[in-house]
Chains A and B, each alone.
Chain A
């Protein structure tokens, strides 16, 4: 049946009415309808659509005509009520549309003409163009993206250094500039230690330990891991070092990297010798001589680098700091005894989310356990046959591409690691599970909630299993380090202060 009414003198624009009509037809029992103003043209349209009723003869331009083809009186009334509601809401609606977002770097720069840093994390194949645009507009760049060719990296870094601009990356996961943590970074104290790092998690670990020891960071500049390779020649590493030399806030400088190419190390060494500020260097995996030759105060691992830096910042003797670290051996032994007594398996299974922490663990264990199996082994003979299955002592980096393809980084997405923890707990050969938990911006906001149930489950499966964690981060991080530690302990994990300490404890449990 077709019924309708005239609303005298009620004006709405045609578009509003068309929207109402469109929604009206979705009401159950309404096959067609129309809400229009009573103009000649509209009446003609209504006639054509078979929605014209005779009462409309007595209407004109300023009247609203409502015509409804409904299957029952009830649906007709529903429709009228709906129209009433809609008309009211149109006039009282608030605007909740989002603000405009620029679609390109160029227009973002127009909206923020004094921008000074471009943070780029689009897929590598598109990132080069974005970096070029930023450098051309004299912006410093942090390039989080990976999969940028080494040729492009060289071109872009050469351009940046000619222009006096920072280009952190590609594959730079961490930086702290003017106290602002960028990408994966921690909320650390401000202070006078400047860091240059070709390793993201290395930077996170060192800056967090420094902050937890009460000192602070002036600037922490990431360069991306490839910067110290022969092809790039340490362009940004050296530029960043010079910048920290000239920075008044920075009183001492800490360098973090895997062993640079010998040619690059030579170039870095020239700068280290020239610069008057104290410089601490940790080149993870490099031999003693190499580091000593660089002219920097050598640190053997990330923890030591942090402790030495803190001692120097306090103008204390750093040998004392090193001695203090060594003196904790007895304490670690006594903890190890407690867990070693009932151990059932024989092997360490290290499941890491931070690449540098994984390397560091393998290096530390090499001393007493020899090479460990890994997807990123120190010795190619120890490549895991199947990365999903551990062999003897196994230390894996879950942040590598073979694990992450199609899913977020394991610092964000815990699912792969959680599953692996259970697999290892089910393996009777496992004595110790070693984990890193990296906090800070960018990382999972509640790692304790992700891990605790899994730790509990693993402990149920294998009650004498030792699960050892270190937690990289600070109490100012969004996750709050103290809270995370408490929760992990409550779940049954042994939580150590640093990655080095966690590895040493694991080593002791195995060796006892």
Chain B
């Protein structure tokens, strides 16, 4: 390079700061682009120094993590009862979404779902009885994430619930998730009425055996392939799963016909899947989980492997910090509400479903999902802008998941906590909204930006573990 290189060329300016400098230069004939700059999050210089000192090592670790994440191959390989297959699962253990939390601090919908689960398990007869039991030492709680599992909304998993088994065929690790119950009054939104429990029983006794046999007959269903197609069909597989559900239906229906005898029951199961646009969410989530978990425990990596909320706290985990959770207060989503409900009814953000964003889907892929752009402000361009913004905090672009509108650019993948802090920009999540009281259910759907606090804690945590 030489200073003379810039002379007599068209000036092409990246302008960071005062915007009028850009306009002036353009007026005088230069080309300029404005950086929409924000001060970075306030972090101790000491932390930044440690992080910057190890920049090469972190980049190498992240590349390693991304190679694993991008080559993951999540497939649905079967179903089983939670107690038989989820590591560490037992009768008196209840798994919940998000970071660890004790009964007293649980949000309304989580408490409601725990009550429902205890009734479902036959451990309590009435909600009152269940509540008492739930608060006692007899019941243990643990995050789904700590048992290779993910759960939408309250994310409650109890011993006898059937779960999907998703295997990352490239690395051999497994992830689990329950079957999706549909919308309205459902356990994952904290509802526990008879209607809810009866549906769960039907799902266990009728749907589960039929689906299990069908999946066994197929051997496996390639979920990565379905997700890639669903993105081309207008899903982002978090808040919109209509295409994913349809594709799953196409895959499973013939196998159901082949493997079951009871026509009435077969029709009920197929109708149930067909009538529930979110059925595929409980497959896109464990697919994301299985993909990301293969990159666990990579020293020095600043890549986020879980964004998870329990309705009270928002927690994240990094590839480079083992099983540690970094948490902050969960915000209330900016939502559109169902008739009769307002923001006052909304519970703070809840669910493990932000695992989709962590894997480069959901809010990160919202540009692929024009049908739900109204959640993000109303125009298709808003959605595109959100996805474009997420490239700023991601380490890579996906090799398989693509956005047609962006000329099939890969979705932003691999959240780098350093970039979140440096750009003061947190992950963008689209999500359902639960009523804050137990037993009511879903009240709306909307979007939110993750709170900054967990990321601040995470970068400090990482800086202590750098080697």
Residue among B25, B38, B40, B425 facing the most chain A CB atoms (10 A cut-off): B25
Whether the Cβ atoms of A117 and B16 lie closer than 8 Å is: no
Complex: A114 Cα to B12 Cα, angstroms: 7
Given known A116-B6, A117-B11, A123-B39, contact A145–B17 (CB-CB < 8 A) = yes
Whether the Cβ atoms of B16 and A164 lie closer than 8 Å is: no
Residues of B within 8 A of A101 (CB): 34-36
Residues of B within 8 A of A45 (CB): 184, 338-340
Whether the Cβ atoms of A116 and B3 lie closer than 8 Å is: no
Given known A118-B14, A119-B14, A249-B8, contact A105–B35 (CB-CB < 8 A) = yes
Q: Is A121 an interface residue (CB 8 A)?
A: yes
Q: Which of B16, B29, B31, B419 contacts A121 (CB 8 A)?
A: B16
Q: Is B68 an interface residue (CB 8 A)?
A: no
Given known A100-B385, A121-B21, contact A22–B183 (CB-CB < 8 A) = no
Q: Which of A16, A103, A126, A166 contacts B39 (CB 8 A)?
A: A126
Complex: A144 Cα to B13 Cα, angstroms: 14
- Which segment of A46-54, A305-313, A369-377 sits at the interface? A46-54
Q: Which of A112, A123, A187 contacts B33 (CB 8 A)?
A: A112
Q: Which of B15, B29, B40, B392 contacts A180 (CB 8 A)?
A: B29
Residues of B within 8 A of A18 (CB): 336-338, 374, 444
Tell me how far the C-beta of A509 lies from the nearest C-beta in chain B, rounded to whole angstroms: 37
Whether the Cβ atoms of B38 and A103 lie closer than 8 Å is: yes
Given known A119-B21, A123-B39, A240-B3, contact A51–B340 (CB-CB < 8 A) = yes
Q: Is A405 an interface residue (CB 8 A)?
A: no
Complex: A475 Cα to B185 Cα, angstroms: 72
Q: Is B18 an interface residue (CB 8 A)?
A: yes
Within 8 A of B (CB), among A265-299: none
Complex: A138 Cα to B257 Cα, angstroms: 63
Q: Is A471 an interface residue (CB 8 A)?
A: no
Complex: A123 Cα to B375 Cα, angstroms: 35
Residues of A within 8 A of B7 (CB): 177-178, 219, 243, 247, 249
Within 8 A of B (CB), among A96-119: 97-109, 111-112, 114-119
Given known A45-B339, A100-B388, A116-B12, contact A13–B371 (CB-CB < 8 A) = yes
Whether the Cβ atoms of B21 and A243 lie closer than 8 Å is: no
Whether the Cβ atoms of B340 and A103 lie closer than 8 Å is: no
Whether the Cβ atoms of B340 and A140 lie closer than 8 Å is: no
Residues of A within 8 A of B445 (CB): 15
Q: Is B381 an interface residue (CB 8 A)?
A: yes
Q: DSSP majority for the A interface?
A: mixed
Complex: A22 Cα to B336 Cα, angstroms: 8
Complex: A414 Cα to B35 Cα, angstroms: 29
Q: Is A163 an interface residue (CB 8 A)?
A: yes
Residue among A46, A164, A165, A178 facing the most chain B CB atoms (10 A cut-off): A178
Per-residue contact bits, chain A 231-255, to B (CB 8 Å; 1 contact, 0 not): 0000000011011001101000000
Interface size class of B (residues with CB under 8 A): 35 or more
Tell me how far the C-beta of B27 lies from the nearest C-beta in chain A, rounded to whole angstroms: 8
Residue of B nearest to A103 (CB): B392
Whether the Cβ atoms of B378 and A19 lie closer than 8 Å is: yes
Residues of B within 8 A of A114 (CB): 12
Q: Is B262 an interface residue (CB 8 A)?
A: no
Whether the Cβ atoms of B339 and A34 lie closer than 8 Å is: yes
Given known A44-B184, A144-B17, A177-B11, contact A164–B1 (CB-CB < 8 A) = yes
Q: Is B4 an interface residue (CB 8 A)?
A: yes
Q: Is B93 an interface residue (CB 8 A)?
A: no
Q: Is B2 an interface residue (CB 8 A)?
A: yes
Within 8 A of B (CB), among A161-191: 163-166, 177-183, 187
Complex: A33 Cα to B389 Cα, angstroms: 36
Whether the Cβ atoms of A134 and B14 lie closer than 8 Å is: yes
Residues of A within 8 A of B18 (CB): 121, 144, 183
Q: Which of A116, A119, A163 contacts B25 (CB 8 A)?
A: A119
Complex: A407 Cα to B341 Cα, angstroms: 45
Residue of A nearest to B377 (CB): A97
Q: Is B9 an interface residue (CB 8 A)?
A: yes
Whether the Cβ atoms of B12 and A117 lie closer than 8 Å is: yes
Residues of A within 8 A of B372 (CB): 15
Q: Which of B30, B36, B38, B336 contacts A19 (CB 8 A)?
A: B336
Within 8 A of A (CB), among B421-446: 422-423, 425, 444-445
Per-residue contact bits, chain A 49-63, to B (CB 8 Å; 1 contact, 0 not): 111000000000000
Tell me how far the C-beta of A82 lies from the nearest C-beta in chain B, rounded to whole angstroms: 16
Complex: A401 Cα to B131 Cα, angstroms: 64
Residues of A within 8 A of B183 (CB): 41
Q: Which of A112, A182, A478 contacts B21 (CB 8 A)?
A: A182
Whether the Cβ atoms of B6 and A117 lie closer than 8 Å is: yes
Q: Which of B21, B38, B382 contacts A183 (CB 8 A)?
A: B21
Whether the Cβ atoms of B16 and A95 lie closer than 8 Å is: no
Q: Is A32 an interface residue (CB 8 A)?
A: yes
Q: Is A441 an interface residue (CB 8 A)?
A: yes
Tell me how far the C-beta of A155 lies from the nearest C-beta in chain B, rounded to whole angstroms: 14
Q: Is B380 an interface residue (CB 8 A)?
A: yes
Whether the Cβ atoms of A126 and B3 lie closer than 8 Å is: no
Whether the Cβ atoms of A442 and B374 lie closer than 8 Å is: no
Residues of A within 8 A of B8 (CB): 178, 249
Within 8 A of A (CB), among B353-387: 371-372, 374-375, 377-382, 384-385
Per-residue contact bits, chain A 117-144, to B (CB 8 Å; 1 contact, 0 not): 1111111001001100010001110001
Tell me how far the C-beta of A44 lies from the nearest C-beta in chain B, rounded to whole angstroms: 7
Listed by A's residue number, 24 A-B pairs whose Cβ atoms lie within 8 Å are: A15-B375, A18-B374, A19-B336, A36-B339, A45-B339, A49-B341, A50-B340, A97-B377, A97-B379, A98-B385, A102-B392, A106-B392, A117-B6, A118-B14, A119-B13, A119-B22, A121-B18, A122-B16, A180-B28, A182-B13, A240-B3, A243-B2, A243-B7, A441-B28
**5 further interface pairs, Cβ-Cβ under 8 Å (given A166-B6, A478-B27):** A13-B374, A49-B340, A116-B13, A117-B12, A164-B1
B-side residues, CB < 8 A to A, are 1-18, 20-22, 24-25, 27-40, 183-184, 336-341, 371-372, 374-375, 377-382, 384-385, 388-389, 391-392, 419, 422-423, 425, 444-445
Pick the 10 closest A-B CB pairs, nearest first.
A49-B340, A121-B17, A34-B339, A164-B1, A15-B374, A101-B36, A441-B24, A243-B3, A97-B381, A18-B336
